Copies of this chain bind each other. A is one copy, B any other.
């Protein structure tokens, strides 16, 4: 029996992590994280629930990584910390993984692999990486051959006939595997709602060429720092046009350094200047490469917009947001563009200048091409929220696959293959583990609910001091508020008085039990508030006995 068990990424964009299990051995493809959305205040990152792997640690033979993005390897430290196993990946991917591990003071057994060169994991997995075109160097998918059949996992991919690095998605190997028979195809669903072919990165090249040639002032380009294909093009454009490049943002500096060390960027030192010296050069001699195109509040572009950083934008400077807002970021990206425009900068962004960005993910017709090529026995759409998976499944149906061949799995589902037939056979623990900022603490749903409540209503701490021997009320209720509106702030002393008279009615016999007193104190404060307003701040009751 072969089992495919997604632990993350089937129901969300992010958390990509999927188990292939066969004859008592498990192989994990990716260990990705996710960034928090609205309604998760204070949360830093989200990782998949790895309980199933921890409970079966001896079975896990290794992790293979598709590429260097956080949503594919960001949860690796949290897994390896508890289940230390070898990690396989291409050169650049491992460099990203190493960085992530080192940040948390961890080391791991990282094993570099090459596309098209098969390697073994455990005794049952013959694995082969296949080049894919994506927005980060060295991205691959995997062909996993097991005694029970072959599984292809595309990883994140697009089909670009003419990618910047000349490395096309290796459709040839997928086609060959397809001819030999593929038991199950797992394919990237991110862009399944889009009907137009995802454009070539050459489109972006041409757009930059045009924008740069028309620019007379400074140019600022904001993009994901891991998009090193695009960075490469920008650097060579600057070499040609005689602009010096200043890097802004920690991750930008780090990734460019890493890419230069690994030989992915071949540019002279003399191309670069320090950000602090930008103002010393003529505006038309400078490019600033920065981060924060998603409107992240503390990133480079936000600093430029607010005028906080060492570079001051002047009217006539050109700012290019070389990205599309990730759903949920539209508002903050919009506000950032507004701010840059009010400073007088010309802003090129995807809505007005579509060529400043192309996606790194295959769209529907390209997803279809992979299905047609591989002709798998079964298909499980991966990497996507529900509607992306649904739509990708519909594409498989349109490609002629039967309903029984198309398996719409969710995180935690176990899909088992026996005698070449797949079916849902159960589930394993799965879910999202929320990690708190500045620390390793786990944020439970209860904590989250408390935090949201705190932020919506504000809070009032209420304290009473009771005499230990006779339960007499010595002092209080005394109140202190945070996050209250103006009316409530004014009301607070009156509320405290009312609360006191309500609380005093509580007979001393009942005051022996702290929990009960806290309950009554909460009630008294709430009732006192009710006399003046319809709002109900969260009450934090405290009893001190003296």
Contact = CB atoms under 8 A, between A and B. Distances in A.
Interface of A: 11, 37-38, 41-42, 193, 327-328, 330-332, 334-335, 337-339, 341-342, 347, 351-352, 385-387, 390-391, 436-444, 447, 450-452, 454-459, 461, 463, 465, 474-476, 478, 480, 482-488, 533-536, 538, 540-542, 544-546
A486 B535 contact: no
Given A328-B330, A338-B386, A455 B458 contact: no
A450 B458 contact: yes
Given A441-B485, A540-B540, 15 more contacts: A38-B38, A328-B330, A337-B386, A339-B386, A352-B391, A436-B485, A437-B535, A438-B536, A441-B533, A444-B486, A450-B458, A454-B458, A454-B459, A459-B540, A465-B544
B437 A478 contact: no
Contact of A461 (B475, B487, B534, B540): B540
Q: Tell me the number of copies of this protein.
A: 2
Given A37-B331, A485-B447, A538-B482, A437 B459 contact: no
Given A386-B342, A540-B482, A42 B456 contact: yes
B342 A542 contact: no
Nearest to A533: B439
B482 A459 contact: yes
A229 B231 CA distance: 50
6 contacts: A41-B455, A328-B330, A438-B536, A441-B535, A461-B480, A475-B545
B483 A534 contact: no
A442 B437 CA distance: 30
Nearest to A335: B385
The 3 closest A-B pairs by CB, nearest first: A338-B386, A441-B485, A455-B455
A164 to B, nearest CB: 28
Contact of A459 (B38, B337, B436, B459): B459
B331 A485 contact: no
B334 A387 contact: yes
A390 B341 contact: yes
A538 B540 CA distance: 13
Contacts of A390: 341
A181 B421 CA distance: 77
A268 B59 CA distance: 68
A447 B456 CA distance: 11
